[in-house]
Amino acid sequence: MRGRSGRRSRSRERRRSRSRDYGRDRGYGGGGGGRRNQAGSNLRKPRWDLSRLEPFKKDFYIPNPAVSARSYYEIEDWRNSKEITLRGKNIPNPVFTFEEAGFPEYVINELHKAGFKAPTPIQAQGWPIALSGKDMVGIASTGSGKTLSYILPAIVHINNQTRLSRGDGPIALILSPTRELAQQIQQVANEFGKTSKIRNTCVFGGAPKGPQALDLMDGVEIVIATPGRLIDFLESGRTNLKRCTYLVLDEADRMLDMGFEPQIRKVIEQIRPDRQTLMWSATWPKEVQNLASEFLKEYIQINVGSLQLSANHNILQIIDVCQDYEKESKLSTLLREIMAEKDNKTIIFMETKRRVDEVTRKMKRDGWPAVCIHGDKTQQERDWVLQDFRTGKAPILVATDVAARGLGE
Ligand code: ADP
Ligand code: MG
């Protein structure tokens, strides 16, 4: 028995190392395939000597006269009405319109084209801070417009740097917990970056490395990445962070929940310490606070909404504590209620993959248009399922919570 399993694992090891060599010969693929017990163990932390680093500019903010002229009381009134609390030194006044933020005309045109009328609170207060080159933390609930809060300043930042040379890595790096979120961010980067020809790419696990590696090697100003896959590419030299001066940690709370902390540390170590760092989160737990105090310098923090924010307050939450055996009948009563209304959609979270499969099977048997996702599904299956859920073809989604991240709106 023991002998057999030993043989099997040896031959598997051989196969694995052969495919690794093959990847290298082809020019991409890299070292991520084999040992990965220690994230980024092949990456050394560079020794930073600030006096020898190429200088760069990160403060681009010129306050609009109308913005500077507003009185302290007017600003405080506005902040109170939006439930904004701030911490930090030299906090700039908020802007009330897109024009006041001082974005280039082509960015403002895109905002109007998107049908947006005014900045959301996190944007109104966040843009002047981000454009000043300061480190910042933005805490605001899901759907509050955090993506544009960092993408538009990123565009300004990038357009003011020397152009990328051959072999240069990205200027802006955005770390995101999941593929789905990374792709949503990419859509925003595409929409607002295209007029100034800013190139971006999205790198994430669970998809072939080849095309992602080619994009990286072509040169892109913005990389949107999940931490693990980025480390693979850094280790294999497909990209580097020597030019990176604008770092975004999006959904910091979720990244930590998903156990990405070691990878995040590894990545940050590779970036020059005088970069600008912007961290975004829907909640502000101890772990996120620790990360901020370790990696951000003299940062300004904005909270929109309650300081104890842990859930979206625009949503009515009903919590029904019940016995295990009651769950299924309660679920069908609830579903009948919800699905009676046209266009309603339902997401049901389960703790385990096994339960997700089981419950979905039962619901389908009872005639409900249910689909499911969890970590064991292939990326392609997940894409199909999400597509069907978004379009309403399958309005009931059963999921483990990790798999469901990135559903967004
Ligand atoms: P968050 O990251 O805070 O969850 P998103 O950045 O994904 O939020 O934005 C949520 C939605 O709000 C998106 O559909 C986005 O297009 C929209 N949005 C962003 N900014 C504005 C704005 N200023 N006015 C109207 N809608 C906006
Ligand atoms: Mg977001």
Q: Please, which pLDDT band fits residue 38 given cuts at 50, 70 and 90?
A: low
Question: Is the pTM for the entire model greater than 0.95?
Answer: no
Average pLDDT estimate for 133-145: 95
Pocket test for ligand 1, best of 147, 253, 313 (most atoms within 8 A of CB): 147
| Centroid of chain to Cα 150 | 11
Q: What is the pLDDT of residues 145-157, one digit of tens each?
A: 999 999 999 999 9
Nearest CA to ligand 1 atom 21: 145
Judged by average pLDDT, the poorest of 65-79, 204-218, 316-330 is 316-330
Average pLDDT estimate for 197-222: 95
| Tokens read off for 70 | 């507003």
- Distance (angstroms) between ligand 2 centre and the Cα of 90 equals 26
Per DSSP, the three-state class of 21 is helix
Q: Which residues line ligand 1 (CB under 6 A)?
A: 116, 119-120, 123, 140, 142-148, 408-409
Pocket test for ligand 1, best of 108, 116, 122 (most atoms within 8 A of CB): 116
| Tokens read off for 63 | 């306050």
* Predicted local distance difference test score (pLDDT) of residue 35: 41
Q: Please, which pLDDT band fits residue 276 given cuts at 50, 70 and 90?
A: very high
Nearest to 311 by CA among 139, 84, 141, 137: 141
Judged by average pLDDT, the poorest of 17-26, 255-264, 391-400 is 17-26
* Predicted local distance difference test score (pLDDT) of residue 403: 63
User: DSSP string spanning 168-227?
Assistant: ---SEEEE-SSHHHHHHHHHHHHHHHGGGT--EEEE-TTS-HHHHHHHHHH--SEEEE-H
Which atom of ligand 1 sits closest to the CA of residue 141?
3
- Distance (angstroms) between ligand 1 centre and the Cα of 31 equals 38
Nearest CA to ligand 1 atom 2: 146
* Predicted local distance difference test score (pLDDT) of residue 97: 96
pLDDT at 261 over 70: yes
| Centroid of chain to Cα 404 | 14
d(CA 379, CA 217): 24
Residue entry with tokens 């399958």: 394
Q: What is the pLDDT of residues 191-208, one digit of tens each?
A: 999 888 999 999 999 999
Nearest to 280 by CA among 145, 403, 406: 145
Which atom of ligand 1 sits closest to the CA of residue 118?
23
Judged by average pLDDT, the poorest of 32-41, 151-160, 169-178 is 32-41
Which atom of ligand 1 sits closest to the CA of residue 409?
14
Average pLDDT estimate for 183-188: 96
Nearest CA to ligand 1 atom 20: 145
Judged by average pLDDT, the poorest of 199-213, 309-323, 384-398 is 309-323
- Distance (angstroms) between ligand 1 centre and the Cα of 145 equals 3
**Euclidean distance between the first and the last CA atom of the chain, given in angstroms as a whole number:** 52
Strand-pairing partners, residue 347, are: 397
In order of 35, 89, 101, 158, 353, the CA distances from 151 in angstroms are 35, 23, 13, 10, 35
Which atom of ligand 1 sits closest to the CA of residue 250?
2
Pocket test for ligand 1, best of 120, 302, 309 (most atoms within 8 A of CB): 120
* Predicted local distance difference test score (pLDDT) of residue 191: 94
- Distance (angstroms) between ligand 1 centre and the Cα of 293 equals 27
* Predicted local distance difference test score (pLDDT) of residue 31: 35
Average pLDDT estimate for 82-106: 95
367 or 18, which is more confident?
367
Q: Please, which pLDDT band fits residue 308 given cuts at 50, 70 and 90?
A: low
pLDDT at 379 over 90: no
* Predicted local distance difference test score (pLDDT) of residue 36: 46
Residues with Cβ within 8 Å of 251's Cβ and at least 6 positions away in sequence, in order, are 176, 177, 181, 280, 281, 282, 405
Average pLDDT estimate for 379-394: 88
Q: Where are the alpha helices (DSSP H) in 296-352?
A: 327-339
Asked if 30 contacts 24 with a C-beta cutoff of 8 angstroms, the reply is yes
Asked if 145 contacts 114 with a C-beta cutoff of 8 angstroms, the reply is no
| Single-letter amino acid code for the residue at 88 | G
Nearest CA to ligand 1 atom 25: 116
